Amino acid sequence: MINDNTLAPATGHVEGHRVQAAGIAAVCHGDVRYSPARSIWFTMMLIAAVVGGFATATPSAVALFGIGTAIVLLFGHSLGSHRKLIHNSYQCPRWLAYLFVYCGTLVGLSGPLSLLRQHELRDYAQRLPRCHDYLRHGCGFWRDAWWQLHCDLQLDAPPEIHIEAAVANDKFYRFLERTWMLQQLPWALVFYVWGGWSFVFWGVCARVTAGVFGHWLIGYFAHNHGEMHYRVSGAAVQGRNIRWTSLLTMGECWHNNHHAYPGSAKLGLFDGEWDPGWWVLAALRSVGLVWDVRLPEDLPPRAELMPLESPVGLQVGNRLGRRMPPLPMSEPR
């Protein structure tokens, strides 16, 4: 079994979840195959969003799209699916965790357990010296779009993924896993009664399309283009920071920071790195709804983490005592 500190190079691992170590070959050999369910889901949402959305566009419908998308990305994908369910980087009441993960399901990517398993596989593969191009977004823009939006990877001998029993056996998460597509229907009915087909096309179809497409698009750039403060020695994939998307992604764009400190609840580590997800977590912590929030200084040192020769990279090294060259700079917020 492996965890955050026993496999080098590490890009992070979910506490309590493990991947059965299987070697490089297990994540290199396999076929990318067309997935009818994935493809039809995204294609139908896209067609409805484009055709229906343009035909029925109103200012109120577009506003509903913007507000709804922001809510599910912030509270759902960033705080619920990623920082809580996958990385368990903070603690909160169970009802709040359920609410956040439910919002994450509304993004339209998959059920929460499938999302967790896929993240675990990618996380394991990306920290190895080599992995399949599907797992590293490494085959070019257009092919990667086709693969990630319409296909699945079928590995010849995939590693075993073990999810913590408390999560894997949770009845609410299992319910969302079985019904994740159907979770859009109640909202479609509410929006239809509220504002007709315009609200359905913009409040559901356009929101899901933007969530699924945006998740792939940011993932592609965050593994191929952008600035870096750190390098994870020996890893097949290096995360990148996509600065201009910080508000659109609710702080999830600071992917190089995340590869360096995957267990941290705060992703924007330096001045100017806006992180709306962290802002909300800090506010919730101030009123007692969130606690045990993990930050980079709370995580164990990693020998494979190498700061690059840039002021901001050296700054975090000094702050966390990683035996890096001293540089007098102001503390990150």
Question: pLDDT confidence of 23, banded at 50, 70, 90?
Answer: confident
Task: Return the axis-axis angle of helices 59-71 and 184-195, rounded to nearest 10°.
Answer: 150
Least confident of 18-32, 66-80, 90-104: 18-32
Torsion, Cα of 223, 226, 231, 237 (10° steps): 10
Domain boundaries defined on the chain: 19-307
Cβ neighbours for 18, distance < 8 A, ≥ 6 positions apart: 1, 2, 3, 161, 162
Give the C-alpha separation, 92 to 85, whole Å.
11
Residue 323 has pLDDT above 90, yes or no: no
| Alpha-helical runs (H) found in 127-275 | 133-136, 141-150, 165-168, 171-179, 184-195, 197-200, 206-222, 255-260
Question: pLDDT confidence of 55, banded at 50, 70, 90?
Answer: very high
Give the C-alpha separation, 133 to 137, whole Å.
6
Q: What's the per-residue H, E or C state across 45-110? A: HHHHHHHHHHHHCCHHHHHHHHHHHHHHHHHHHHHHHHHHHHCCCCECCHHHHHHHHHHHHCCCCC
Residue 170 has a pLDDT of 96
Residue 24 has pLDDT above 90, yes or no: no
Residue 327 has pLDDT above 80, yes or no: no
Higher-confidence residue of 329 and 88: namely: 88
pLDDT in tens, 260-312: 999 999 999 998 999 999 999 999 999 999 999 999 999 998 889 989 865 44
Question: pLDDT confidence of 12, banded at 50, 70, 90?
Answer: very low
Higher-confidence residue of 182 and 316: namely: 182
Please state the rounded mean pLDDT for residues 210-216. Answer: 97
CB count in 10 Å sphere of residue 35: 17
Higher-confidence residue of 26 and 115: namely: 115
Residue 330 has pLDDT above 80, yes or no: no
